[in-house]
Chains A and B, each alone.
Chain A
Amino acid sequence: MTLVEFIVFAPLLAVLAILFGSPARATAIVAAVANLAAAGLMTLRFPVEVESKGQVIFASSRNLLASPNLNLAFGLDGISLVLVILTVLVTLAAVWASPAEGRIKGNVKLYYSSSLLIASGALGAFCATDLFFFYAFHELALIPTFLMIGIFGSGENRKRTAWTITIFLGVGSLILLAGLIALLVETGGKSFAFADLYAVGDKIPADAQKNIYLILLIGFGILVSLFPFHSWAPPAYAQAPTPVAMLHAGVLKKFGLYGLIRVAMPLLPEGAAHWQTLLLVLLLGNILILGLVTIAQRRLDTLLGYSSVMHMGYVFLGIASGNTIGLHGAVLLMFAHGISIALLFALAGAVRERMGTLDMDELGGGLAKKAPALGLLFGFAAFASIGLPGFANFAAEVMVFFGSFQPILETKKLGALQWAGILSLWGVVISAVYMLRAYRKIFKGPLTDKDAKAGIADLTLTERAPALLLIVALMAVGFVPGLLLKYLTPTLEAIAMSLKG
Chain B
Amino acid sequence: MDVNTIAWLILLLPLASAAVILLGTKKSAGISALISTGSVIATLVLSFLLLAQPDTAAAKPLQWLSLGDFEVTIGLKLDSLAQGMMIIVTGIGTLVHVFSLGYMHDDAGKARFFAGLSQFMFSMTGIVLADNFAMMFIFWELVGVSSYILIGHWYDKDSAADAAKKAFLVNRIGDFGFMIGILLVWVLTGSIYFDEIAKAIGGVQNANLLNAAVLLVFCGAVGKSAQLPLHVWLPDAMEGPTPVSALIHAATMVAAGVYMLARVSFLVGAAEMAADTIAIIGGATALLAALMATQQNDIKRVLAYSTLSQLGYMIMAQGLHDGSDAGMFHLYTHAWFKALLFLGSGAVIFACHHEQDIWKMGGLRQKMPITFWTFLIGTAALIAVPGTSGFWSKEAILEAAWHDHNYLVWGLGIAVAFLTPFYMTRLFVVAFLGKPRTKDADHAHEVSPIMWVPLAILAVMAVISAYITGPLEAKGHVAFHMSLTAILSLAGLVVGVLAGWKLYAGCDRDPVNIKLFANKFYLDELYLGIVRLFQDFVGMTFDAVDRYLIEPITVRLPALAAMSSGYVLRLLQVGNLQAYGFLFGLGAVVLIWLIVF
Q: Do the two chains touch directly in the complex (Cβ atoms below 8 Å apart)? A: yes
B535 touches A429 (CB 8 A): no
From A294, A401, A436, A447, give the contact of B179 (CB < 8 A).
Answer: A401
Given contacts A368-B155, A405-B186, A433-B535, contact A412 B209 (CB under 8 A): yes
Contacts of A292 on B, CB cut-off 8 Å?
A: 534, 538-539, 542-543
CA distance A187 to B519 in the complex (A): 70
Q: Which of A294, A414, A482 contacts B63 (CB 8 A)?
A: A482
The contact of A485 among B67, B190, B534, B543, by CB within 8 Å, is B67
Give the interface centre of B137, B142, B152, B165 by most chain A CB atoms within 10 Å.
Answer: B165
In the complex, per-residue mask of B154-170: 1 if CB is within 8 Å of any chain A CB, else 0 = 01111001101100110
- Of B40-48, B319-327, B393-401, B549-557, the segment with at least 4 beta carbons within 8 Å of chain A is B549-557
Chain B interface, number of residues (Cβ within 8 angstroms): 57
User: A444 and B169 in contact (CB under 8 A), knowing A295-B535, A482-B65, A489-B67?
Assistant: no
- Complex Cα gap A414–B190 (Å): 15
Question: A66 on the interface (CB 8 Å rule)?
Answer: no
Q: Is the CB of B555 within 8 A of A232?
A: yes
Out of B142, B186, B209, which one reaches A389, CB within 8 Å?
B142
Q: Are A445 and B67 in contact (CB under 8 A)?
A: no
CB pair A293–B156 under 8 Å, yes or no, is: no
Do A325 and B542 contact each other (CB < 8 Å), given the known contacts A231-B551, A402-B183? no
Q: Chain B nearest CB: distance from A281 CB in Å? A: 15
Q: Are B534 and A436 in contact (CB under 8 A)?
A: no
Contact partners of A437 in chain B: CB under 8 A: 165
Indicate with 1 or 0, residue by residue over B245-277, a CB within 8 angstroms of chain A CB atoms. 000000000000000000000000000000000
**B158 touching A446, Cβ below 8 Å:** yes
The interface bits of chain B over 532-549 (1 if a CB of A lies within 8 angstroms of the residue's CB, else 0) are 001110111011011000
For the complex, what is the distance from the CA of A394 to the CA of B186, rounded to whole Å?
18
Residue among A231, A395, A436, A447 making CB contact with B156, cutoff 8 Å: A447
Cβ of A181: which chain B residues have Cβ within 8 Å of it?
Answer: none
Q: Which of A390, A445, A481 contacts B155 (CB 8 A)?
A: A445
Q: Is the CB of B168 within 8 A of A436?
A: yes
List of B residues within 8 angstroms of A399 by Cβ:
65, 67
Cβ contact within 8 Å between B542 and A394: no
B66 within 8 A of A: yes
A454 at the interface (CB under 8 A from B): no
Nearest A residue to B162 by beta-carbon distance? A440
B68 sits at the interface (CB 8 A): yes
Give chain B nearest CB distance to A436 CB in angstroms.
Answer: 5
Tell whether A275 is near chain B: CB-to-CB under 8 Å: no
Q: Which residues of A contact B508 (CB under 8 A)?
A: none
Q: Known interface pairs A328-B67, A394-B138, A402-B183. Does A429 touch B172 (Cβ–Cβ under 8 Å)? A: yes
| B152 interface neighbour in A328, A401, A444, Cβ under 8 Å | A444
A409 within 8 A of B: yes
The number of residue pairs between A and B whose CB atoms lie closer than 8 Å in the complex comes to: 144
B408 within 8 A of A: no
Contacts of B169 in A (CB 8 A): 429, 432-433, 436
A412 engages B168 (CB within 8 Å):
no
Tell yes or no: B101 within 8 A of A by CB. Answer: no
Q: Which of B141, B176, B538, B540 contacts A394 (CB 8 A)?
A: B141
Q: What A residues does B559 contact at CB under 8 A?
A: 167
> Does B593 sit within 8 A of A, measured CB to CB?
no
Within 8 A of A (CB), among B132-159: 134, 137-139, 141-142, 145, 152, 155-158
Any B CB within 8 A of the CB of A408: yes
Question: What are the residues of chain A within 8 A of B138 when measuring CB–CB?
Answer: 389, 394
CA distance A445 to B165 in the complex (A): 12
Q: Is the CB of B168 within 8 A of A296?
A: no
Q: Chain A: how many interface residues by the 8 Å CB criterion?
A: 59
Q: Say whether, besides A388-B141, A436-B168, A437-B165, A293 and B546 are in contact (CB < 8 Å).
A: yes
B508-549 Cβ-contact flags toward A at 8 Å (1 or 0): 000000000000000000000000001110111011011000
Given A228-B550, A412-B187, A445-B156, A389–B141 Cβ distance below 8 Å? yes
In the complex, what's the smallest C-beta–C-beta distance from A249 to chain B, in angstroms? 18
Complex CA gap A446/B154 in Å reads 10
Contacts of A406 in B (CB 8 A): 70
B58 at the interface (CB under 8 A from A): no
Q: Is the interface of B mostly helix, strand, loop or mixed?
A: helix
Assembled-state Cα–Cα distance A321/B380 (Å): 56
**A296 & B536 in contact (Cβ 8 Å cutoff):** yes
CA distance A343 to B186 in the complex (A): 34
Taken together as a complex, chains A and B put the C-alpha atoms of A168 and B559 apart, in Å, by 10
Q: With A395-B65, A436-B169 given, is the CB distance from A422 to B155 under 8 Å?
A: no
**Which residue, of A229, A293, A489, has the highest number of chain B Cβ atoms within 10 A?**
A293
A425 within 8 A of B: yes
Are A412 and B206 in contact (CB-based, < 8 A)?
yes
Tell me the smallest distance from the CB of B122 to a CB of chain A, in Å.
10
State whether B161 touches A444 (Cβ < 8 A): yes
A168 engages B555 (CB within 8 Å): yes
CB distance from B545 to the nearest CB of A (A): 8
Query: Are the C-beta atoms of B173 and A325 separated by less than 8 Å?
Result: no
Bitwise interface map of A from 384 to 422 toward B, beta carbon under 8 Å scored 1, else 0 = 000011100011001101100110110010100000011
> Is A91 close to B, CB under 8 A?
no
Is the Cβ of A425 less than 8 Å from the Cβ of B187?
no
A269 on the interface (CB 8 Å rule)?
Answer: no
| A164 contacts B by Cβ under 8 Å | yes
Cα separation A436 to B536 with both chains bound (whole Å): 16
Q: What's the Cα separation between A401 and B183 when bound, in Å?
A: 8
- In the complex, which residues 209-243 of chain A have their Cβ closer than 8 Å to any Cβ of chain B? 228-229, 231-232
B2: shortest Cβ distance to chain A, in Å? 24
Quick one: which of B66, B145, B536 contacts A482, CB cutoff 8 A? B66
Q: Is A174 an interface residue (CB 8 A)?
A: no
Residues of A within 8 A of B155 (CB): 368, 443-445
Is B64's beta carbon under 8 Å from chain A? Answer: yes
The answer to whether A289 touches B542, judged by C-beta atoms less than 8 angstroms apart, is yes
Evaluate whether A231 and B142 lie within 8 angstroms (CB atoms) in the complex, with A292-B534, A405-B183, A425-B180 already known. no
Q: Which of B145, B188, B535 has a CB less than 8 Å from the CB of A388?
A: B145
> A434 → chain B, closest Cβ, in Å?
9
Residues of B within 8 A of A489 (CB): 67-68
A78 at the interface (CB under 8 A from B): no
Complex CA distance for A402 and B205, rounded to whole angstroms:
21
Question: Cβ of A324 < 8 Å from any Cβ of B?
Answer: yes
- Contact between A446 and B157, CB atoms less than 8 A apart: yes
A142 in contact (CB, < 8 A)? no
Given the complex of chains A and B, what is the CA–CA distance between A289 and B535 in angstroms?
Answer: 12
Cβ-defined contact, A485 with B176, below 8 A: no
Q: Which of A290, A324, A482 contacts B68 (CB 8 A)?
A: A324
Complex alpha-carbon distance, A252 and B116, angstroms: 37
A295–B134 CA distance with the chains assembled, in angstroms: 29
**A294 to B543 Cα, complex, angstroms:** 8
Given known pairs A395-B65, A428-B176, the reply for A296 and B540 (CB within 8 Å) is: yes
- What per-residue 1/0 map shows which CB atoms of A268-295 lie under 8 Å from chain B? 0000000000000000000001101111
- A324/B67 in contact, CB under 8 A: yes
- In whole angstroms, what is the CA distance A296 to B547 when docked? 12
Which residue of B is nearest A288, CB measured?
Answer: B542
In angstroms, Cα B534 to Cα A92, docked, is 39
Closest Cβ of chain B to A78, distance in Å, is: 13
Chain A positions within 8 Å of B546 at CB level: 231, 289-290, 293
* Further contacts, 6 of them, CB under 8 A, given A228-B553, A292-B538, A293-B543: A232-B555, A368-B155, A368-B156, A409-B186, A436-B169, A482-B66
Can you list 26 A-B pairs, Cβ within 8 angstroms, ordered by A?
A168-B554, A229-B554, A231-B554, A231-B555, A289-B542, A292-B538, A293-B539, A295-B535, A296-B535, A297-B543, A325-B70, A383-B145, A390-B142, A394-B138, A398-B65, A399-B65, A402-B70, A409-B187, A412-B188, A425-B180, A429-B176, A432-B168, A432-B169, A436-B168, A436-B169, A485-B67
Interface on B for A, CB 8 Å cutoff? 63-68, 70, 72, 134, 137-139, 141-142, 145, 152, 155-158, 161-162, 164-165, 168-169, 172-173, 175-176, 179-180, 183-184, 186-188, 190, 205-206, 209, 534-536, 538-540, 542-543, 545-546, 550-551, 553-555, 559
